[in-house]
Homo-oligomer: A and B are copies of this chain.
């Protein structure tokens, strides 16, 4: 098989791939000099490991039988017309994403940003800061989503005795099922954590009115997709004027966030720069998942993590 790899792999990951699929040929995009060579190599390949850009290259990659994305999200590949099977990383990033959400929220509640700045200034004023600190215990949390990330977050929050309500249209675990119900529930929430995938239905789901419905000390956290917000500027203004307690944003409308963007200057705001899924073993896991699926593919066994484009997740 000819396998095209479009992923930022280190040499050790490439060696693992080669050792795990000795009879196959790998072409690594980052080893080819120009875009035209890269595109040509993709068009010849039987299998693709990675998330190529531009996505349009895939339109003519008719030899591809299987595409293993290294992401969980696949919204950019939804309109591919070629008949390849597409698999993704499903639950793989859920735990690090959940931990990034909780880390950000606890940072705000326990003053981590302030203490980091004070450390640089070598200034000990803990007794002044401590009356402003909050605890996560017993907080009322609304989670937008009922998938893998939501479940991980829910489990962690149970350790803090939080009251948790899930918003999802169809999941049996969700108690908030419509946007009308969500709007009604928001004023009681101390924290709203969004971990929805990027679909046509989630785009712009969280409206300006919903931001206005948040409590004065509520935290809005998004580890899903930046386009969940119908009006990101409304969030920026709420933060800037301290009309809400703070935000933890792993994702934003525009990524990377350009210098000068107002979100950089918002107080009580954690920007984790779409690192939510990251971990030291990130690419080891991706390579292991690919090799497992490759063995299944060759043996005619159903692949793991096949993407359901009709469902959107």
**A208 interface residue per 8 A CB criterion:** no
- Assuming the A-B contacts A122-B259, A131-B280, A257-B124, are A275 and B111 also in contact, with contact meaning beta carbons closer than 8 angstroms in the complex? yes
Partner of A130, one of B134, B260, B270, B277: B277
Q: Which residues between 114 and 163 of chain A lie within 8 Å of chain B, taking CB atoms?
A: 115-119, 122-127, 129-137, 155-160
Partner of A256, one of B107, B124, B264: B124
**A96 interface residue per 8 A CB criterion:** yes
Partner of A264, one of B8, B103, B122, B279: B122
Report chain B residues within 8 Å CB of A106.
99, 102-103, 106-107
Partner of A155, one of B102, B155, B159: B159
**A39 interface residue per 8 A CB criterion:** no
Partner of A158, one of B129, B132, B159, B275: B159
- Assuming the A-B contacts A103-B106, A103-B109, are A271 and B115 also in contact, with contact meaning beta carbons closer than 8 angstroms in the complex? yes
Partner of A273, one of B100, B102, B118, B135: B118
Report chain B residues within 8 Å CB of A126.
256, 272-275, 278
Name the distance in Å between A269's Cβ and chain B's nearest Cβ.
8
Q: Which residue of B lies closest to A261 (CB)?
A: B122
Report chain B residues within 8 Å CB of A157.
159
Q: Which residues between 262 and 313 of chain A lie within 8 Å of chain B, taking CB atoms?
A: 264, 269-275, 277-280, 282-283
Report chain B residues within 8 Å CB of A222.
none
For A255, A277, A280, which residue has the most chain B Cβ atoms within 10 angstroms? A280
Contact A275 B134 (CB under 8 A): no
Contact B103 A135 (CB under 8 A): no
Name the distance in Å between A57's Cβ and chain B's nearest Cβ.
21
| Complex Cα gap A112–B101 (Å) | 11
Report chain B residues within 8 Å CB of A159.
155-160
Question: Number of residues in A with C-beta < 8 Å to the partner?
Answer: 62
Instruction: Mark A153-177 against chain B: 1 for CB-CB distance below 8 A, else 0.
Output: 0011111100000000000000000
**A187 interface residue per 8 A CB criterion:** no
Question: How many copies of the chain does the oligomer comprise?
Answer: 2
**A95 interface residue per 8 A CB criterion:** yes
Name the distance in Å between A121's Cβ and chain B's nearest Cβ.
9
Name the distance in Å between A207's Cβ and chain B's nearest Cβ.
26
**A110 interface residue per 8 A CB criterion:** yes
Contact A119 B278 (CB under 8 A): no
| Complex Cα gap A135–B270 (Å) | 18
Contact B122 A112 (CB under 8 A): no
A residues neighboring B (CB under 8 Å):
8, 95-96, 99-100, 102-104, 106-107, 109-113, 115-119, 122-127, 129-137, 155-160, 255-261, 264, 269-275, 277-280, 282-283
